[in-house]
Amino acid sequence: MPKSICLTWVAIYRTHDLNVWRKKGKFVGEKEVNAPRAGAQSINYIKYAKTIMVNRFILNEVSYFGPGARKELPEVVNRLGLKKALVVTDKGLVKFGVAKMVTDVLDEAGIPYETYSEVKPNPTVTNVKQGVDAFAASRADFIVAIGGGSSMDTAKGIGIVTNNPEFADVVSLEGCAPTKHKTVPIIALPTTAGTAAETTINYVIIDEEKHKKMVCVDPNDIPCCAIIDAELMYSLPKGTTAATGMDALTHAIEGYITKAAWELSDMFEIEAIRLINKYLRLAVYDPKNPTGRSGMALAQYVAGMAFSNVGLGVVHGMAHPMGSLFDIPHGVANALLLPTIMEYNKPVCIDKYVEIAKAMDAYKEGMTKGEAAQAACDAVRALAIEVGIPQHLSDLGITEKDIDALADQAIEDVCTPGNPRLVSRQDIVELYKKVL
């Protein structure tokens, strides 16, 4: 885990960071416990810290919503005084004409652009470096990012490195890198309803040499404008719709229960859970239905508004190595893990799980808190099954011998310390085994 830790993203701190926070007067009370970490070693963690918190909330400068919202793109470009775009997308979106739905708008408005379409699922350091070169060669002054999280994350990396060339190695961006300048302007148009990368301050890039996902958290990377146009999602395959929708649900639930959650973030996350429960099935089984697509497009954005500012938990911590080591789609990994890890976290989240049960339409009058909490877990599992999410690691080609390598990365992932319940490496091993 990086030594530089963002306060808004991590609510459990290693003791070697504690003195820093003491000096800043952040901690007014504390209790330490021992927790096993990385094999036989033990490291002191802060289990509870009563803090004087200044909560920060960062959002896009402006966003547009609704079918056809991409037609607002020329107005945004003109308002910002921009001249030429580098379109960052992937070959699939080019092949199936989704990217063209956006570039046609640029063409009609006479806005010049060049295209970088080498983005791959689970984008890499190489993707970013190639994109930086493409941006420089194009002489563009802004980026139009079209796609899911992979395109958005690549665009953020390109924009940050372009304006902060001291991070040209890309790997030094992991964690909370001290960049000095905002990204080049990014206008983000999502084509999936899952990652909410168009409104978050984080992005994920694979370090090919270490075979691990780097989570980068940087207020300077947020797109200046998000355009959420459900028409760009109509051709999304059923399986991808399901996986990205469950990814959004994971964001909402983890953002709701993470240690750094507070009243404002809770408001967004519980509404996102309600919206996903209402619209995901419709989006999966009636993909051209504008109500379902628009509902999910909004839901994932609302979830992103909050988790971007308060962080996530061990679901993401365990999902990231599944992507880096086995190229498992991120949404699938999250969806498979979520119900089981919800049950692990249940003892410390009872009250919030009652509200999740209500948002999932799983609460029945007269339920005890324990019954309602289990109903929340069961409802999430039932939704995942209903939309076709695999339920076992073995279904994805992962075997028991792979668990140690997964756990080694998961315990070090930047998202893991934000989990509401303290988690050790052995806990992570056992959680993987439960879904094997």
pLDDT digits (tens, 9 = 90+) for 323-356: 999 999 999 999 999 999 999 999 999 999 999 9
pLDDT at residue 127 greater than cutoff 50? yes
- pLDDT over 90 for what percent of the chain? 87
Q: Where is pLDDT greater, at 151 or 31?
A: 151
How confident is the model at residue 246, as a pLDDT?
98
Q: Are 190 and 200 in contact (CB under 8 A)?
A: no
At 243, list the tokens: 């996986």
pLDDT at residue 302 greater than cutoff 90? yes
Q: Where is pLDDT greater, at 24 or 423?
A: 423
Residue type, 261: A
- The full set of domains in the chain, from first to last, is 62-233 (3.40.50.1970), 238-434 (1.20.1090.10)
How confident is the model at residue 7, as a pLDDT?
44
Distance CA 284, CA 355 (A): 25
Q: How far is CA 79 from the centre of its chain?
A: 29
Q: Are 248 and 306 in contact (CB under 8 A)?
A: no
pLDDT at residue 21 greater than cutoff 50? no
pLDDT digits (tens, 9 = 90+) for 26-54: 333 333 333 333 333 333 333 434 445 68
Rounded mean pLDDT, 61-67: 96
How confident is the model at residue 53, as a pLDDT?
67
Q: Mean pLDDT of all residues in the chain?
A: 90
Q: Are 203 and 156 in contact (CB under 8 A)?
A: yes
At 30, list the tokens: 């504390």
pLDDT at residue 296 greater than cutoff 50? yes
How confident is the model at residue 52, as a pLDDT?
52
Distance CA 285, CA 303 (A): 22
- Residue with structure tokens 């021992």? 34
Distance CA 141, CA 185 (A): 7
Distance CA 414, CA 194 (A): 20
Distance CA 235, CA 191 (A): 9
At 146, list the tokens: 């079209």
With a threshold of 0.75, does the pTM exceed it? yes
In this predicted structure, which of 3-17, 215-229, 249-263, 366-380 has the lowest mean pLDDT?
3-17
Q: Where is pLDDT greater, at 205 or 35?
A: 205
Rounded mean pLDDT, 207-233: 95
How confident is the model at residue 309, as a pLDDT?
96
How confident is residue 154, by pLDDT bands cut at 50, 70 and 90? very high
How confident is the model at residue 54, as a pLDDT?
87
Q: Is the dihedral of CA 93, 98, 100, 103 positive or negative?
A: negative
pLDDT digits (tens, 9 = 90+) for 155-192: 999 999 999 999 999 999 999 999 999 999 999 999 99
The strand pairing partners of 390, in sequence order, are none
Angstrom distances, CA of residue 45 to CA of 6, 13, 120, 315, 376: 16, 6, 37, 20, 29
